[in-house]
Structure 1
Amino acid sequence: MMELGIGMFGDLQIDPQTGKIQAPQERIQEIIEEIKLMDEVGVDFFGMGEHHRADYAVASPEIILAAAATVTNRIKLGSAVSVLSSADPVKLYQDFATVDLLSNGRAEIMAGRGSFIESFPLFGFDLKDYSGLFEEKLDLLLRLNKMDTINWTGKYRPSLINQSVYPRPVNNSMPIWIAVGGTTESVIRAGKLGLPVMFAIIGGSPINFKPLFEIYQQAYLDNGHDPEKFQVGVHMHSFFGADSKEVADWYYPYYSNQMNRIGASRGWPPYQKSQYDYGRSRHGHLIVGDVNESVDKILQMQETFGLTRFSAHMDVGSPDHSKMMKAIEIYGNEIIPKVKAAK
């Protein structure tokens, strides 16, 4: 049965008139309340992003997840993503093993190369090594997950010689997912390694990703991995309300303002209402609407891609906390049961 969860980046609200940014302390406390509610209403997993910018509250997903572990009972807790290229895999693994112990075995790591690049200069890495760093550090992370004592040599980190790494997670290993944007190289690598993949579908038409899903599955099977353990998910910008038009109209300013803030640094043209409307259509990448619309579109994604996991990215532009709480209730109490009952 498909798992349904929520992802967040920890966006801070920015006043469109004054430019004043919400206090990170306030947003972090809201996030913990939101995760607690997710656990109560039956959301299967939560993913927290990593950013090193003034407009995001969370630089260390594992600290938020550790706090969430103490106020939840069943929800899986993972990163979305940990920027592995600029992290130390040993420290990352130790931190998540600690979250796993706190949560009685509910921790996951989702590793990514990072679409934002602020962490590279911050931690002393060169962007020209973008791909090499990820490949090498992923190799070390996977070895840490398989063995207690490590012998390892790489280019970007000192060697490990008969080195034991503690603490160990509850079951001596944790789920490790790979997050990908849209590169063939990334999906083939994940398939060869037999790792579950989360595709970020955050623009355009989802059907354009179908070839990448097929390439990933073929690489997975060609390398002898168990078809019964095949896992694949999508991460899509989402928001839910009781009335479709009402929630869409209310959410548009938050969403468009954030798209324009990110776009300004990447050379994107101003975000248009027509893009939003297309995104919300059957063919687009947004799941913003009422219960029935959302259920239909999630099921459409499941059928198109053979999903085992769906992640609703719900805090783009930092909607009001009260509306977030209501949207989480709708998702957990109404949308998730209907999606699961349909299959």
Structure 2
Amino acid sequence: MKFLAITLITHRPDPVTGIQKSTHHRFREVLDHAVLAEELGFDGFGVGERHERPFISSSPTVVLSHIAALTRRIRLFTAVTTLSLLDPVRAYEDYATLDHLSDGRLDLIIGKGNGTAQRELFQVTPEDQWDRNAESYEVFRKLWRQDKVTAATRFRPPLTDAEVWPRPYQQPVRVWHGSATSKESVDLAARYGDPLFSANVTNPIEPYAELIRHYRDRWEHYGHDPAKIAVGAGTAGLFVARTSQEALKIYRPIFESTLAFQRQFGLPVVFETVEDFVERSSALIGSPQQVIEKVHRYHEQFGHSVLHLHADGSGLTDTQHRSSLTLFQSEVASVLRHELPDPPFAWEPVLPVPPVVEEPEEAVESVRV
């Protein structure tokens, strides 16, 4: 199993102290967390894309480019690229550039995105968002693979023998399809034989497991080899401590503050108590053994080979957050890497082989002389 640390770059007051860091401080914190994730041995680091309050992740390519310069090994993910809102030509240009700057460490997780404010900002309607997402991906996919592209598009000017630069470093880039509740995203992933990433954050396991079963059915419907399926899954929170009692004690005020925030803004409440949250949500809160057992329980339903965790402390102190991530890597991930399978593809990118440049005959003769 592979492990990612992911941030949506939420920018709101700390749920425990009530203090809100400056925008500049928050961005620096994301960079520090990415470097820490690589140091601790995480396999990937993801940055979300949102265009509404309380998020400041509107430019993931810029943030990931900076992270690419600070790291050497860790793969870089988008979480998610909201293709329903974007011109696929501009999205391709940005991500092909990032692909080069990261030496081919880029993975994309795409999705339609959610939130009324960002839909209105880009004049996307609930009725056309799925068609926009599918069309943008189809154009993006062609641009990555073909030197010249012709596409009779509805939501942007049509393309006729269009050349878009730069050409990418990876051929092709790996694209995951992010899905929370939608069969449309699942079907699009299965149609193209692409991996699926289940959000797996808001609800108990059942609706996500149902979607993943649907994905597997559609995968076979489109004639793909079942052995090549790859599924990723998210988590609703993370805090690993030496004992379950310590984990629950420290996490309780974080949960209660988040619950109050949900009620204040009329957001749906699924888990009424921290005990219920720990038991029935995808949150990994407890001792190392408890967390290992919970990941196994979810794996029985999902068959997933990639797991994402929160890169942010989200109410934990810096010391608590670092201790939790360190303990997760040393006593949880180290076990799960051996007990659960990896994705059915090489994690490191297959990069272009540089051409062999032959020396001119005159130069060879001069060396001989």
What is aligned with 2:347?
none
What is aligned with 1:232?
231
What is aligned with 1:132?
131
**Secondary structure class of the residue paired with 1:118:** helix
**Secondary structure class of the residue paired with 1:86:** coil
CA contact (8 A) 2:47 2:80 kept: yes
What is aligned with 2:117?
118
In structure 2, C-alpha distance between the alignment counterparts of 1:20 and 1:284, rounded to whole Å: 27
- Residue 176 of structure 1: how far off its partner (Å): 0.8
CA contact (8 A) 2:16 2:254 kept: no
In structure 2, C-alpha distance between the alignment counterparts of 1:187 and 1:56, rounded to whole Å: 26
State the Cα deviation string for residues 135-187 of structure 1 (Å, max 9, x = none).
22122122222212111121111111111122222223211111001223332
1:1-343 → structure 2 map (5 Å cutoff): 2-14=1-13, 21-243=20-242, 244-261=244-261, 264-265=264-265, 267-269=267-269, 272-273=272-273, 276-281=274-279, 283-315=280-312, 317=314, 319-343=316-340
In structure 2, C-alpha distance between the alignment counterparts of 1:214 and 1:288, rounded to whole Å: 26
- Residue 197 of structure 1: how far off its partner (Å): 0.7
Q: Which runs of 5+ in 2 are unaligned?
A: 341-369
CA contact (8 A) 1:27 1:57 kept: no
- Residue 105 of structure 1: how far off its partner (Å): 0.8
Percent identical pairs in the alignment equals 25
Q: Cα distance 1:252–1:50, how it changes in 2: closer, same or farther (>3 A)?
A: farther
CA contact (8 A) 1:149 1:164 kept: yes
**Secondary structure class of the residue paired with 1:85:** coil
- Residue 25 of structure 1: how far off its partner (Å): 0.9
Q: Cα distance 1:147–1:257, how it changes in 2: closer, same or farther (>3 A)?
A: farther
Greater Rg by CA: 2
In structure 1, C-alpha distance between the alignment counterparts of 2:257 and 2:44, rounded to whole Å: 28
Larger mean Cα displacement after TM superposition, 121-130 or 23-32? 121-130
Q: Cα distance 1:263–1:151, how it changes in 2: closer, same or farther (>3 A)?
A: farther
Q: Which runs of 5+ in 1 are unaligned?
A: none
CA contact (8 A) 1:51 1:59 kept: yes
CA contact (8 A) 1:52 1:119 kept: yes
State the Cα deviation string for residues 56-81 of structure 1 (Å, max 9, x = none).
23211111111111111211101111
Q: Cα distance 1:17–1:171, how it changes in 2: closer, same or farther (>3 A)?
A: closer
Q: Cα distance 1:116–1:325, how it changes in 2: closer, same or farther (>3 A)?
A: farther
Q: Cα distance 1:136–1:266, how it changes in 2: closer, same or farther (>3 A)?
A: farther
In structure 2, C-alpha distance between the alignment counterparts of 1:62 and 1:264, rounded to whole Å: 33
State the Cα deviation string for residues 296-326 of structure 1 (Å, max 9, x = none).
2112222321112111235384544443333
CA contact (8 A) 1:11 1:316 kept: no
In structure 2, C-alpha distance between the alignment counterparts of 1:128 and 1:315, rounded to whole Å: 34
- Residue 250 of structure 1: how far off its partner (Å): 2.3
CA contact (8 A) 1:242 1:290 kept: yes
Larger mean Cα displacement after TM superposition, 319-328 or 209-218? 319-328
Larger mean Cα displacement after TM superposition, 21-30 or 163-172? 163-172
In structure 2, C-alpha distance between the alignment counterparts of 1:193 and 1:88, rounded to whole Å: 20
Q: Cα distance 1:41–1:138, how it changes in 2: closer, same or farther (>3 A)?
A: same
CA contact (8 A) 1:49 1:61 kept: yes
State the Cα deviation string for residues 272-307 of structure 1 (Å, max 9, x = none).
32xx312212x4322122222112211222232111
In structure 1, C-alpha distance between the alignment counterparts of 2:310 and 2:84, rounded to whole Å: 23
Opposite residue 171 of structure 2, the aligned amino acid is N
**Secondary structure class of the residue paired with 1:257:** helix
CA contact (8 A) 1:9 1:316 kept: no
State the Cα deviation string for residues 96-144 of structure 1 (Å, max 9, x = none).
2222211111101111111223222223433442222212212212222
- Residue 328 of structure 1: how far off its partner (Å): 2.3
TM-align CA RMSD: 2.4
In structure 1, C-alpha distance between the alignment counterparts of 2:263 and 2:154, rounded to whole Å: 34
Larger mean Cα displacement after TM superposition, 67-76 or 118-127? 118-127
